[in-house]
Amino acid sequence: MTVMPRHLVIFARTPQAGRVKRRLAREIGVLAATRFYCTMLETMLRRLAADRRWTVWLFATPDSSLGHPIWRGLRRRRQGSGDLGQRMRLPFDTLPPGPVVLVGSDIPAIRPHHIARAFSLLGHNDLVFGPASDGGYWLVGAKRLRPLPFTLFADVRWSTPHALADTLATIPAGYSVSLAETLDDVDDAADLRRFRATLRRRNSLGLRRRHQGTANRASSAH
């Protein structure tokens, strides 16, 4: 039985000051917002690109930025022109056969197991979406054993609380859809504070578990 290759597409904007995280930059400053984006993007690429369960494709904007050193070693393509929906269709329409999962570049909580789960859901569904708590979505995937609905991504109110609902409304009857885990991006200072608080809690919990494990081993030794 032939196993179709899996394609993970990362949509990213070249990390140039003043062109990334503009809402966040208005609150914490352009340089701080750019540094945060660079760190987040580099961490995400490192986590996901090394996983051999899929092939990573970097779709970058602007189109002239494919030579940027941050993309070195990755398969690179241009996002092209049009609105977000038109640009998102491009990987699904042009990549080699096999399921495609597309994610944004500003999801700090993303891990390989989230991507693996999305591909697993595509084993039983035509489409998969990863909801965000603000009404948008951080992931979209397609099995691609049948043509993508030509209406997909049409007339979506991007960057609003209606983005996911609008997208789901473009899918005609007969296509099976599943939802993955809810994750959030970091668009403004409030998002950044929540992310850092979550990170502190996670680190604190990990530290307590390590201390508990050390104490248990010491107790067993006696």
- Same domain flag for 158 and 201: no
The CATH code of the domain that includes 19 is 3.90.550.10
Provide the pLDDT confidence category of residue 205 given band limits of 50, 70 and 90: low
Tally of structural domains, the chain: 2
pTM: 0.86
- Same domain flag for 180 and 197: no
Residue 88 has a CB neighbour count (10 Å cut-off) of 22
Domain span including residue 107 = 7-185
pLDDT at 218 over 90: no
- Same domain flag for 67 and 123: yes
Q: What pLDDT does residue 181 have?
A: 96
- Asked, for residue 205, whether it belongs to a domain, the answer is yes
Residues 6+ apart with CB under 8 A from 68: 14, 15, 60
- Asked, for residue 120, whether it belongs to a domain, the answer is yes
Q: Higher pLDDT residue, 177 or 200?
A: 177
- Same domain flag for 60 and 151: yes
- Asked, for residue 1, whether it belongs to a domain, the answer is no
Beta bridge partners of 178: 128
- Same domain flag for 76 and 128: yes
- Asked, for residue 28, whether it belongs to a domain, the answer is yes
Cα–Cα distance for residue pair 208/185, rounded to 1 Å: 27
> Would you say 21 and 34 are in contact if contact means Cβ atoms under 8 Å apart?
yes
SS3 annotation, the chain: CCCCCCEEEEEEECCCCCCCCHHHHHHHCHHHHHHHHHHHHHHHHHHHHCCCCCEEEEEEECHHHCCCHHHCCCEEEECCCCCHHHHHHHHHHHCCCCCEEEECCCCCCCCHHHHHHHHHHHCCCCEEEEECCCCCEEEEEECCCCCCCCCCCCCCCCCCCCHHHHHHHCCCCCCCEEECCCCCCCCCHHHHHHHHHHHHHHHHHHHHHHHHHHHHHHHHHC
- Same domain flag for 178 and 193: no
- Same domain flag for 125 and 201: no
pLDDT by residue (tens digit) across 126-151?
999 999 999 999 999 999 999 999 99
pLDDT by residue (tens digit) across 39-88?
999 999 999 999 999 999 999 999 988 888 888 889 999 999 999 999 99
- Same domain flag for 144 and 111: yes
